């Protein structure tokens, strides 16, 4: 379905050219990464045509999103649960330990603000289809820096254009679902800013220096302005350390600009905190009246260790409202195992299994951003050393169906066997215990070569795609 059937390389090149031009004209861009011309842009890594995806699984993932939003919000409020669950991992993982330390250092402030603190979450729950079991399985849930929402909106428009205008007679437009992540994210931020109540306050985008994915972020800034007349200021954590301050009531300003929302597109990786000043900036913001997207407890609630623990018996049930809700999200949990106690007989069993069949598992540390998991031989070697295994979780390897795709990266077209990962965005705004907004906010498909273990677009493994529902 995804090949330029029988039309040969000349047709593929012509199609690629159409895609590149549309992408350039419609802001489907990333930074070119050219040191001499730091503002130069290039089309985002893309799939030329949409990828087949079963409609029922797609709808199931969408239906689960509002429950995941609620679940994560409640987990983030249960400090005792977060601490107990992350305790063993934090003994061997300095990054998790540091986040927990900030959590504890700011707890007095949190307790004081319990009924009035503004909450804004932009989550993304990621899934792959597992072909052997014919089920949709959750890969992970992201609570920080869930990216590519705005570029995904553009990819869906691109694929509609290509299917209709460039003539793909075997594909019909009605199987390409609408997708407006950009408006949803802008509206959630707009709602939080309105709730903050200071019309002059801006949104602080916490960014990495030399960010290549800045166009995805700029789309959001643009939509915030167009739809809500809300301004954004962009700063690195180091700049916030230098220019940020709190007044006695905890109101945050950066270079004199009052801030309603801190939106983190950085701060998820240890490398985002090269010195103590970045950590002190994070702690200062956590101690402010501005909504933190995400707060430290929300970031902790998105840890892979929490995902694994929630899948354990009766845990999810504690946090949602009904058995039906629990069942809906449980249906997409893959096999997940704690490595907190390597001597535990159940852990011994799975370690033995993984040693015999390492390709059936993925070993995951408490990290975000792609490129951190262990597979195959590396997984086997790491599991043979019991020391510090609590820093990881072990996960069933999901086996998605293989498609044939034309991928476009840096202007070059490549036809390969591929796997795809679906992401569903969720937005949430609350004040204290009151829920102001809880929405499913659109989707993302990332497609990667079937030979690649990892899947990040920014990390260079995958391209942006869209679903062709069947």
Annotated catalytic residues are 124, 140, 142, 147, 304, 364, 368-369, 446
Task: Look at residue 421 and give the partner it binds from Mg ion, ligand ADP, none, a contact being a CB closer than 5 to 8 Å depending on partner kind.
Answer: ligand ADP
444 contact, one of Mg ion, ligand ADP, none, CB 5-8 Å limit per kind: none
Token output for 130: 């597992």
Q: Is 62 annotated as a binding residue?
A: no
Q: Please report where in the chains the tokens 């498609």 appear, as a residue.
A: 403
**Nearest distance in Å: CB 55, ligand ADP:** 22
Round the CA-based radius of gyration of the chain to a whole number and report it.
Answer: 22
Minimum distance of ligand ADP from residue 246's CB (angstroms):
31
Return the number of the residue (421 or 440) whose C-beta is nearest ligand ADP: 421
Helix (H, G, I), strand (E, B) or coil at 166: coil
191 vs 372, beta carbon nearer ligand ADP:
372
Give least dist CB 299 to Mg ion, A: 11
**Which does residue 397 bind out of ligand ADP, Mg ion, none, counting CB within 5 to 8 angstroms by kind?**
ligand ADP
278 marked among binding-site residues:
no
Q: Is 240 annotated as a binding residue?
A: no
Residue 317 contact among ligand ADP, Mg ion, none, beta carbon within 5 to 8 Å by kind: none
Do 158 and 19 contact (CB within 8 A), yes or no? yes
The residue whose Cβ lies closest to ligand ADP is 455
458: left (phi over 0), alpha (psi -120 to 50) or beta: alpha
Say how far apart CA 393 and CA 340 lie, in whole Å: 8
DSSP state of 31: E
184 or 397: CB nearest ligand ADP: 397
Residue of 260, 255, 247 lying closest to 201 (CA atoms) = 260
Smaller CB separation from ligand ADP, 358 or 430: 358
Q: Which is nearer to ligand ADP, 292 or 420 (CB)?
A: 420
**Residue 397 counted as an annotated binding residue:** yes
Q: Is 213 annotated in some ligand binding site?
A: yes
- Rank residues 190 and 455 by Cβ distance to ligand ADP and give the closer one: 455
By C-beta, is 93 or 180 nearer to ligand ADP? 93
Residue 135 contacts which entry, Mg ion, ligand ADP, none (Cβ below 5-8 A, type-dependent)? none
The distance of closest approach from Cβ of residue 2 to Mg ion in the complex, given in angstroms and rounded to an integer, is 23
Q: Which residues of 338-360 are buried (b: 16+ CB within 10 A; e: fewer)?
A: bbbebeeeebeebbeebeeebee
* CB 134, min distance to Mg ion, A: 22
Considering Cα of 246, then 249, then 252, then 257, what sign does the dihedral take?
A: negative
Q: Going by C-beta distance under 8 Å and a sequence separation of 6 or more, which residues neighbour residue 363?
A: 373, 374, 375, 378, 379, 382, 383, 392, 393, 394, 395
DSSP 92-161: H-HHHHHHHHHHHHTHHHHHHTTTT-EEEEEEEEEEEEETTTTEEEEEEEE-S----HHHHHHHHHHHHH
Provide CB contacts within 8 A for 447, sequence distance 6+: 47, 51, 403, 405, 407, 418, 419, 420, 421, 462, 463, 464, 465
Q: H-type helices in 245-364, by residue range?
A: 276-286, 296-301, 304-310, 315-319, 323-330, 345-356
Query: Residues in the site for Mg ion, rule: CB under 5 A?
Result: 140, 142, 368
Closest CB 451 distance from ligand ADP, rounded Å? 12
138 binds, among ligand ADP, Mg ion, none (CB under 5 to 8 A by kind): none
**In which residue are the tokens 């018996």 written?**
313
Cα distance between residue 61 and residue 137, in whole Å: 9
Give dist(CA 243, CA 285) in Å, integer: 12
Provide the minimum distance between the beta carbon of 273 and Mg ion in the complex, in angstroms, as a whole number. 17
Residue 8 labelled as part of a binding site: no
Annotated ligand binding at 218? The verdict is no
> Which among Mg ion, ligand ADP, none contacts residue 296 (Cβ within 5 to 8 A by kind)?
none
Least distance between ligand ADP and beta carbon 225 (Å): 30
Residue 373, contacted partner among Mg ion, ligand ADP, none, CB below 5-8 A by kind: ligand ADP
396 annotated as ligand-binding: yes
Q: Which residues pair with 404 in a beta bridge?
A: 417
Is 367 flagged in the annotation as binding? Answer: yes
Nearer to ligand ADP, 151 or 334 (CB): 334
Determine contact, residues 194/252, Cβ cutoff 8 Å. no
> Is residue 466 part of an annotated ligand binding site?
no
* Residue numbers at the binding site for ligand ADP (CB under 6 A): 126, 139-140, 334, 362, 364, 367-370, 372-373, 395-398, 421, 454-456
**CB neighbours of residue 219 within 10 Å:** 22
Distance CA 333, CA 139 (A): 8
Q: What are the binding residues for substrate?
A: 124, 144-147, 211-213, 217, 265-268, 446, 457-458
Q: What are the binding residues for ATP?
A: 140, 304, 364-373, 375, 395-398, 421, 448, 454
Q: What are the binding residues for Mg(2+)?
A: 140, 142, 368
Q: What are the binding residues?
A: 124, 140, 142, 144-147, 211-213, 217, 265-268, 304, 364-373, 375, 395-398, 421, 446, 448, 454, 457-458
């Amino acid at each position: 379905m995804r090949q330029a059937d029988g039309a040969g390389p000349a047709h593929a090149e012509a199609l690629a050219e159409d895609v590149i031009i549309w992408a350039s004209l419609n802001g489907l861009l990333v930074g070119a990464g050219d040191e001499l011309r730091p503002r130069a842009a290039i089309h985002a890594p893309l799939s030329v045509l949409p990828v087949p995806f079963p409609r029922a699984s797609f709808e199931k993932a969408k239906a689960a999103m509002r429950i995941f939003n609620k679940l994560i919000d409640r987990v983030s409020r249960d400090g005792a649960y977060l601490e107990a669950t992350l305790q063993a991992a934090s003994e061997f993982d300095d990054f998790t330990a540091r986040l927990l330390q900030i959590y504890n250092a700011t707890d007095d402030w949190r307790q004081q603000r319990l009924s009035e603190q503004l909450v804004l979450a932009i989550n993304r729950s990621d899934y792959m289809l597992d072909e052997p079991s014919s089920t949709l399985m959750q890969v992970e849930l992201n609570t920080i820096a869930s990216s590519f929402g705005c570029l995904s909106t553009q990819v869906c428009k691109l694929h509609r254009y290509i299917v209709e205008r460039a003539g793909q007679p075997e594909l019909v437009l009605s199987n390409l679902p609408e997708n407006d992540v950009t408006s949803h994210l802008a509206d959630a931020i707009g709602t939080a800013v309105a709730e903050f109540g200071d019309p002059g306050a801006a949104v602080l985008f916490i960014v990495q220096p030399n960010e290549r994915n800045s166009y995805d972020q700029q789309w959001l800034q643009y939509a915030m302005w167009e739809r809500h007349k809300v301004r954004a200021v962009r700063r690195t954590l180091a700049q916030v350390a230098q220019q940020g301050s709190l007044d006695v009531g905890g109101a945050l300003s950066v270079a004199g600009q009052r801030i309603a929302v801190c939106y983190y597109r950085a701060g998820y990786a240890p490398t985002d905190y090269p010195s103590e000043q970045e950590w002190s900036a994070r702690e200062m913001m956590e101690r402010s009246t501005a909504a933190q997207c995400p707060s430290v407890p929300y970031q902790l609630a998105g840890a892979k260790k929490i995902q694994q623990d929630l899948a354990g018996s009766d845990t999810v049930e504690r946090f949602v409202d009904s058995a039906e809700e629990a069942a809906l999200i449980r249906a997409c949990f893959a096999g997940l195992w704690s490595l907190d106690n390597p001597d535990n007989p159940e852990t011994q069993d799975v370690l033995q299994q993984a040693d015999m069949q390492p390709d059936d598992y993925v070993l995951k540390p408490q990290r975000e951003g792609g490129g951190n998991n262990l597979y195959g031989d590396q997984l086997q070697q790491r599991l043979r050393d019991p020391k510090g295994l609590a820093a990881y979780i072990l996960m069933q390897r999901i086996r998605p169906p293989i498609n044939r795709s034309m991928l476009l990266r840096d202007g070059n077209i490549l036809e390969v066997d591929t796997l795809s990962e679906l992401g569903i965005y969720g937005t949430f705004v609350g004040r204290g215990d009151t829920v102001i907004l809880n929405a499913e906010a659109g989707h993302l498909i990332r497609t990667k070569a079937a030979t690649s273990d990892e899947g990040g677009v920014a990390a260079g493994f995958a391209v942006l795609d869209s679903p062709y529902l069947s």
